[in-house]
């Protein structure tokens, strides 16, 4: 979780990722952010997030992202 | 059948009456299907073949993809699978699904290319071939089926969603047909998503006075924008662009700004008209506009203008491309030679270039639209690449993002930029657009006279436009924070009907009804 | 059920608002001098006693003086011609007026332009629309062959005022329309002589103005608009059914106009053949024997519209010829075999 938060904060230092729950729906993370973020997460966590995983429920909050990461790690 | 015609009014009224008959309740979607096909046939019986072809291919590819997804789910639920078997199965299943999607894409994009882009390719081939050989291809003359650019994307999106497991495939062929042909969306979009639209299309609903009232309000608003603003500005922009040789760069630049407003009023007005019709049917179409001129950057503009198109290209082209193996390896290679900050953006840049090329090309089969797409792409890419430098500059000049003055400045800057980019659609040909750009750069000569700012425009017509724009601005400003129809419903009866009356009177008095007819009592002199 | 009531009430409210709006704007902004106001009133006043109608477009509007005809024939005529009136509108107006009046004869002023009418000249229709009596007639007219936008335009052209801000004009209009002169039908418009007859004291100076010269310079039968032709036949057949005498008349035009038409024999033949087909009279004043002597530029206000002098003179001639025709005399003597303009040594330009 900490690794994830570090990635997010580096990407967008002005956002409070611990409490924000509308990162996608509120347009806080745009498509560039998403691509950079997914690239980083794939590298750091050694998983393969595909574009079909880009759903609001997976990326609206850090918890959603973490759950996705855990799920994909299990599958690998 | 255009929406501002008597035949459409009659068609729609009868359709709504039948739609809400209690006996028809369970089959409302059938009424919509028949109405959509009737609407489509009114545009030309021969084009029905094309949309039927799209429906058939979409239905069967969605079915294959859907079945593959179901198979995969069934397989994964089995408990006695070996890990390596699972991986191999998943890869195979994915390959098969991708092949199905590829079929759908090739067939439908193929038809689109054949119908809309053939002549573009032939003309360009001839340009080259004529110089080196006696070979000369003749242009084809095929009818362009109504809405083919829109329904093609909508169908492909649906099949991709099914193959990714994001939507269940529709087992009923006719329901699939309705999804593709739904008449309010067929002419100019919005490009709908299956998950969101199908729920509404196939549901049954009772007549709701609320829907009728909201729908009519939206219709009124749409007609107001179209007749009082868009069609009133049109003669002014036509004068400037059809005779741009006679005007200075300054007038052309102003013309581009007027054109921006005109296209916005026209397109969003049309969206309101079809949105209003759809609201009356109890079906909410996706939003295509969110007050784009309040955008502070070009990237934001494209999240507020023609939203469904931008989202389609983002979800079905940008993300797949930028997250693909090619893009990630491109990014990795980039890290070796470029600073990390830039290298991280490489996959996005790669994908974005393709997306903007495709977006430009999708609009029209011409070099000027490709140029337009490329320009948009370059500006967005460069603003992303230089984002940090930009932030640093702002710190140096003590510019705060929250300051109202800065926000207004950004909105004006974006509006100017967007208007400049509109030169590619305002001009009649690629050459004309380049010449207009040249005039703006080299021959600006700004002079604030009425004749140069509003060539050949009657003062009274200008007043109508300004009146319309004031109302447009106020309502748009309110829309940023509220759903205006909800706000309105809380106001007293008199206030609401005063607003409706003002809009209605504006359409009748100031709106363009039949072109160029003198109004009022000019006849009195004859 | 509640919903139906709600909806019906609101539709009624919208209709009321629309009607009131049109009436209010019209009252305030329609110039108190507009001839149409007085023409409509006079038409209603004379209802039941009109025995002669002059129909057609602006050339008829300015060519036929009901005052001259009435004094010569001791009758009650009315000029229902309006600028740009299409034959389908003429037919509608004719039917309306013949139902309310003991009309015995109709003079239909013809011209080349009348048969071509490519684009809908909505303004022309607007004037005719004004003369229609009753909501039923107006609705029926709107729904005939009009697009939704044209319908809205026709019904609402009075509200499409250019100068909403000219409040001084509005004051004048409201003041006059509330005055006793208005109620007594005193017409302050010196360009309108009453009973539909528009007049001008201008004299044609010989210049050609583009908007007047829009007519193609050579006319041929294949330019005829089928809808207009059908309306013409319907008109004539209606008159025959109702036993109303119908006479086609081509009012005189200036030499310059004849020159720009080129050869006028084709149009002459066209109307002549229709007249022969239906066994009615066609008096082509472009073939009138004294055209060059009696209809110089001083009788016209522009290249083809008669001025007051010209209109009254022309109507007097029509009256005289008609009386002789009634008496069984041979009136062919007044008309030549070809247009005298071509034989004239000094072309009257």
Residue C270 lies in a domain: yes
CA distances from B321 to B43, B244, B318, B355, C261 (A): 36, 40, 5, 9, 69
Higher per-residue pLDDT: B313 or C219: B313
pLDDT value for B308: 95
Q: Is residue C184 part of a domain?
A: no
Asked if B328's CB is within 8 angstroms of A39's CB, the reply is yes
Give mean pLDDT, residues B461-467.
Answer: 92
Q: Where are the domains of chain A?
A: 2-75
SS3 C339: coil
Could you tell me how far CA C262 lies from the centroid of its own chain?
25
The CB density around residue A48, as the number of other CB atoms within 10 Å, is 14
At B411 the pLDDT is 94
- What integer pLDDT is reported at residue C212 of this predicted model? 47
Range C133-140, long-range pairs (CB < 8 A, 24+ positions): C133/C43, C133/C44, C133/C96, C133/C100, C137/C92, C137/C96
* Per-residue pLDDT reduced to its tens digit, A13-27: 888 888 888 888 888
pLDDT bin (cut points 50, 70, 90) of residue B137 is confident
Sign, CA torsion B178/B179/B184/B188: negative
Q: Which residues in chain B have their CB less than 8 angstroms from residue C23's CB?
A: none
Coil, helix or strand at residue C108 = strand
Specify the pLDDT at position B521.
55
CB-based contact, A14 to chain B, within 8 Å: no
> B115-136 b/e with 16+ CB inside 10 Å = b?
bbbbbbebeeeeeeeeeeeeee
Domain of residue C277, CATH code: 3.40.50.1110
Reported as a single tens digit per residue, the pLDDT across A31-62 is 888 888 888 888 888 888 887 888 888 888 88
Is B345 within 8 Å of A32 when comparing Cβ atoms?
Answer: yes
User: Structure tokens of C92?
Assistant: 């509608």
Give the residue among C173, C190, C181, C157 at the shortest CA–CA distance from C41: C181
Chains A and B touch (3+ CB pairs under 8 A): yes
The tokens describing C142, both together, are 């709107």
Please give, rounded to a whole number of angstroms, the shortest distance from the CA of B381 to a CA of chain A. Answer: 10
DSSP string, C6-41: HHHHHHHHHHHHHHHHHHHHHHHHS-TT-HHHHHHH
The predicted complex's ipTM stands at: 0.91
Is the model's pLDDT at B516 over the cut of 70? no
Compute the radius of gyration of chain B from its Cα atoms.
Answer: 26
Query: Under an 8 A CB cutoff, do B523 and C33 touch?
Result: no
* Alpha helix (H) residue ranges in B386-523: 387-396, 404-421, 423-426, 430-442, 450-453, 459-481, 484-489, 493-510
CA–CA separation, B121 and C228 (whole Å)? 46
The structural domain count of chain C equals 1
**Is B496 within 8 Å of B217 (Cβ atoms)?**
no
Give the bridge partners for B419, in sequence order.
none
Mutation for testing the B interface, residue in C160, C163, C192, C197 having most B CBs under 10 Å = C160
Average pLDDT over chain B, rounded to an integer: 90
C182-237 pLDDT per residue, tens: 887 777 778 899 999 999 998 988 776 655 444 555 567 777 888 889 999 999 99
pLDDT, tens digit, for every residue of B476-511? Answer: 999 998 899 898 899 999 999 999 999 999 998 888
Give the residue ranges of chain C where pLDDT is below 70.
Answer: 117-123, 208-219, 344-349
By C-alpha distance, the chain C residue nearest B513 is C149
Chain C CB contacts of B6 under 8 Å are 147-148, 151
Residue B298 in tokens: 């070009």
Which of the other chains make 3 or more beta carbon contacts under 8 angstroms with chain B? A, C
Q: C-alpha angle with apex C104: C103 to C109, nearest 5 degrees? A: 85
The confidence score (pLDDT) of residue B328 equals 82
**Contact B315/A36, CB-based, under 8 Å?**
no
Q: Is residue C332 part of a domain?
A: yes
Residue C1 lies in a domain: no
Alpha-helical runs (H) found in B188-248: 194-201, 209-224, 231-242
C272, part of any domain:
yes
* Residue C338 in tokens: 């070809």
User: For residue C205, what is the DSSP state?
Assistant: -
Q: How confident is the model at residue A12 (pLDDT cuts 50, 70, 90)?
A: confident
A39 and B344 in contact by Cβ < 8 A?
yes
- Which of helix, strand or coil describes residue B185? helix
User: Structural domain of residue C47, as residue ranges?
Assistant: 35-131+189-343
- Would you say the C-alpha torsion A55, A58, A61, A65 has a positive or negative sign? negative
Please say whether the beta carbons of B229 and B270 come within 8 A: no
- Confidence grade of residue B242 (pLDDT, cut at 50, 70, 90): very high
3-class SS string, B154-167: HHHHHHHHHHCCCC
User: Looking at domain A2-75, what is its CATH homologous superfamily?
Assistant: ACP-like (1.10.1200.10)
CA–CA dist A70, A46 (Å, integer): 11
Tokens of C292: 């060059």
How sure is the predictor about B37, in pLDDT bands with cuts at 50, 70 and 90? very high
Q: Which of B299, B323, B345 sits opposite A51 (nearest CB)?
A: B323
Burial of C296 (0-12, 13-18, 19+ CB in 10 A): middle
The predicted structure's pLDDT at residue A76? 65
């Amino acid at each position: 979780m900490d690794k994830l938060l570090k990635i997010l904060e580096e990407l967008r230092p002005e956002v409070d990722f611990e409490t924000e729950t509308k990162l996608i729906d509120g347009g806080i993370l745009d498509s560039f952010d998403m691509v950079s973020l997914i690239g980083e997460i794939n590298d750091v966590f050694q998983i393969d997030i595909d574009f079909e995983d880009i759903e609001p429920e997976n990326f609206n909050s850090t918890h959603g992202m973490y759950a996705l990461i855990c799920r994909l790690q299990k599958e690998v | 059948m255009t929406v501002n015609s008597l035949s459409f009014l009659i068609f729609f009224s009868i359709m709504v009456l039948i739609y809400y008959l209690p006996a028809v309740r369970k089959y409302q979607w059938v009424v919509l299907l028949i109405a959509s096909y009737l609407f489509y046939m009114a545009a030309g019986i021969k084009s029905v073949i094309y949309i039927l072809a799209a429906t058939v291919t979409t239905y069967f590819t969605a079915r294959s993809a859907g079945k593959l997804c179901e198979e995969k789910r069934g397989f994964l639920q089995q408990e006695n699978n070996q890990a390596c078997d699972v991986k191999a199965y998943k890869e195979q299943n994915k390959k098969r699904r991708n092949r199905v999607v590829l079929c759908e894409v090739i067939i439908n994009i193929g038809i689109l290319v054949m119908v809309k882009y053939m002549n573009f390719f032939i003309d360009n081939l001839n340009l080259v071939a004529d110089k080196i050989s006696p070979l000369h291809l003749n242009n084809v003359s095929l009818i362009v089926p109504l809405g083919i650019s829109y329904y093609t994307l909508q169908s492909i999106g649906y099949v991709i969603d099914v193959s990714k497991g994001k939507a269940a495939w529709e087992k009923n062929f006719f329901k699939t047909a309705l999804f593709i042909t739904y008449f309010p969306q067929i002419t100019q979009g919005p490009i709908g998503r299956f998950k969101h639209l199908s729920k509404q299309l196939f549901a049954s609903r009772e007549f709701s006075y609320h829907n009728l009232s909201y729908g009519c309000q939206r219709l009124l608003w749409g007609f107001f924008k179209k007749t009082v603003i868009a069609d009133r500005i049109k003669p002014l922009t036509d004068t400037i662009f059809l005779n741009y040789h006679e005007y200075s760069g300054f007038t052309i630049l102003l013309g581009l700004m007027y054109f921006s407003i005109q296209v916005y009023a026209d397109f969003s007005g049309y969206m309101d008209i079809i949105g209003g019709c759809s609201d009356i049917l109890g079906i909410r179409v996706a939003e295509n506009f969110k007050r784009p001129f309040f955008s502070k950057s070009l990237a934001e503009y494209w999240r507020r203008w023609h939203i469904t198109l931008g989202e389609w290209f983002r979800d079905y082209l940008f993300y797949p491309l930028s997250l693909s193996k090619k893009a990630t390896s491109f990014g990795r290679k980039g890290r070796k030679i470029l600073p990390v900050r830039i290298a991280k953006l490489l996959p996005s840049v790669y994908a974005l270039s393709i997306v903007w090329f495709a977006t430009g090309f999708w609009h029209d089969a011409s070099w000027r639209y490709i140029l337009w797409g490329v320009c948009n792409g370059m500006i967005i890419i460069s603003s992303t690449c230089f984002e940090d430098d930009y932030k640093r500059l702002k710190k140096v000049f003590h510019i705060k993002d929250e300051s109202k003055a800065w926000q207004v400045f950004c909105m004006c800057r974006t509006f100017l930029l967007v208007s400049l980019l509109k030169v590619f659609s305002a001009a009649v040909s690629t050459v004309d657009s380049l010449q207009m750009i040249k005039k703006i750069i080299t021959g600006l000569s700004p002079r604030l006279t009425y004749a140069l700012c509003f060539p050949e425009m009657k003062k009274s017509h200008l007043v109508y436009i300004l009146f319309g724009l004031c109302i447009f601005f106020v309502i748009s400003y309110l829309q940023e924070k509220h759903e205006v129809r909800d706000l309105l419903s809380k106001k007293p009866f008199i206030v609401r009907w005063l607003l409706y009356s003002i809009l209605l009177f504006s359409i009748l008095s100031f709106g363009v009804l039949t072109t160029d007819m003198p109004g009022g009592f000019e006849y009195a002199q004859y | 059920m509640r919903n139906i009531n709600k909806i019906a009430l609101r539709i009624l409210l919208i209709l009321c608002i629309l009607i009131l709006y049109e009436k209010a704007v019209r009252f305030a902004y329609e110039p108190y001098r507009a001839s149409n106001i007085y023409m409509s009133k006079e038409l209603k006043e004379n209802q039941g006693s009109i025995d002669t109608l002059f129909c057609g477009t602006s050339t008829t509007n300015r060519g036929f003086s009901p005052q001259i005809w009435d004094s010569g024939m001791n009758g009650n005529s009315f000029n229902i011609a309006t600028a740009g009136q299409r034959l389908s509108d003429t037919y509608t107006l004719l039917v309306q007026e013949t139902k309310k009046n003991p009309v015995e004869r109709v003079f239909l002023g013809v011209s080349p332009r009348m048969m071509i009418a490519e684009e809908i000249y909505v303004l022309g229709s607007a004037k005719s629309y004004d003369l229609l009596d009753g909501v039923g007639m107006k609705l029926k007219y709107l729904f005939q062959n009009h697009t939704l936008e044209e319908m809205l335009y026709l019904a609402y052209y009075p509200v499409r005022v250019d100068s909403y801000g000219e409040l001084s004009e509005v004051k004048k209009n409201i003041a006059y329309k509330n005055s006793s002169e208005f109620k007594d039908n005193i017409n302050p418009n010196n360009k309108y002589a009453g009973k539909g007859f528009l007049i001008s004291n201008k004299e044609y100076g010989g210049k050609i103005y583009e908007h007047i010269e829009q007519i193609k310079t050579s006319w041929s039968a294949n330019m005829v608009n089928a809808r207009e032709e059908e309306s013409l036949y319907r008109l004539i057949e209606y008159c025959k059914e109702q036993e109303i005498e119908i006479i086609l008349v081509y009012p005189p035009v200036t030499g310059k106009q004849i020159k720009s038409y080129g050869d006028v024999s084709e149009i002459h033949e066209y109307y002549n053949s229709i007249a022969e087909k239906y066994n009615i009279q066609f008096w082509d004043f472009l073939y009138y024997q004294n055209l060059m002597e009696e209809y110089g530029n001083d009788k016209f206000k522009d290249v083809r519209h008669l001025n007051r002098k010209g209109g009254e003179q022309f109507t007097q001639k029509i009256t005289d010829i008609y009386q002789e025709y009634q008496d069984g005399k041979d009136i062919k003597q007044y008309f030549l075999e070809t247009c005298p303009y071509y034989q004239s040594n000094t072309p009257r330009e």
